[in-house]
Chains A and B, each alone.
Chain A
Amino acid sequence: MKRRDFLKAGTAGLAGAITGSTGMLTWSPRARAATITKTLYITDGFINQIDGTSVYFRGYSNSSGTLDVPGESMIVQEGDTVEITLVNTLATEHNFVIDGMADSGVVGAFSSRTFSFTAGNPGTYMFYDNANGVYNQLLGLHGGFAVMPQNSSNELYPGSRTFVQQQFWLFHDIDPAWNDRLRQGLTPNTAYVPRYFTLNGLGGRPPGAPGNADPNVNSMIDPRSALHGSIGDRTLVRILNAGLAAQSVHVHGNHMEWLTENGQIRPDVWEKDCLYLDGNRGILDMIYPYDVPPDSWPPATHGEYPMHLHSEMSQTAAGGYYLFGAITDIFFE
């Protein structure tokens, strides 16, 4: 069992305050609520795509000198006080909202603001910027946010099916023509046609491609995205869609236990190999059970399988480049 991401900040959890820096702002069960502090720098820049195109983005970054798209995911506990300092390094207005939980108010150009909120119902959320309709979200101002139940390390919500490790799959799609208009302060004036598709900010780099061995480049092996486990290592995956395209999330090797849809607990847990993920902030939770692949003969305990979107246009980049889109690997170890 790999608990590395899950318990990274384990002992820090008993302190009164937890400060996220460059590491994942993570979580372990605590007897009492804490105050979580985090500074997010709103920055911009260009990210090179596989075809050489340089695309403009904005992000909630961990320092004023980086561009983090998506923003680093956060896991807190129900009842925690979350204190966010937004440092807006740009000439445009921005904000930070979590539907039903947090709203920074507008942070003006080149200014900053500290605000706090109480972590509400356990579950999976997106933090994003709606200061200019959907545009800032599309430019990259989004990230995953999770609230764990009090005193529980293995449930999505009190009484849910249990897991031993958890991670985020945050999908995005990008129309570079829109990003370029927005960079210039203009409103997009063409139909939205996504041309790049990412998982936690990266696309696939299949064997033989530049960056194939680099987890900072290749979504197939990015530790934020790829699943690693042995039989029984039930893995909660919090699935979010910051893009506008509805996607079909498909895994090989096992069926998924489908727990929630857009913040609602499903009345029954269905076992599915594809899940319908709404565009524009659709959210799902599922557990990948890491059972022996049921149809293997002889029974398999090791192997490497894909997660890919079955809305297959999302598997491309720049109109071709199959396998360079939103895809990762599932390792049975």
Chain B
Amino acid sequence: MFELLGSDLLYKFLRGPMCWVAFILFFVGSIYKIIRYTKELSQEKVVFVYVKPQYALKSYFHWFLPFGTRNWRLHPYMNLFTFLFHISLIFVPIFLSAHNLLIYESWGISWWTIPDKLADIATIIVIISCIFFLGRRIFIKEVSYVTYLSDYFILAIVFFTFLTGFLAYHQVYTYKIFLNLHILFGEIMLISIPFTRLFHIWSFFFTRGYIASEFGYVRKVKDW
């Protein structure tokens, strides 16, 4: 088992065909769902006519800003962890120099990278945030009441992707096993985005934008 996990064969598979599958499923799945929802929502005649970008943008701004909304101020720790977690989650995979190198090797293109030290800190932040979120799910009653197995599953995907990435980078124990696991979890994460509630990375913009428009345009109040 260990042999297989650390094998070059698996590495080649994960970096080759599996990587393609993951990216294609991620993109095609996401686009398909976005198109499907757009269609269904335009059939619900009372949705898009009320969506106004000026209100949506204002609301995004406040919800993205740390302590920018009343609820964030009421939950400062949650806000801080959510904020750092999401920033790291987006920036590390895209701007990590090792990832960039892989892309450069494959297609000859590359872009900005962040220093490895910073990436390291951001990775630790993601790992700690996951533990914080897990703690909330277990110990806070209003969260545990609505927690399902799938919530742990989603959290675990992110947690293990970053943990194995961290271990692989620091070449702990058998480097190859962690590297392979890291790629595997990363691919599972990508595939999960369109098919699980990780879809919220896209739908946020719709749901927030819609309610912001309802509040700003029809109700004439702010929604933060």
**Do A and B associate with each other?**
no
Interface residues of B (CB under 8 A from A): none
Interface residues of A (CB under 8 A from B): none
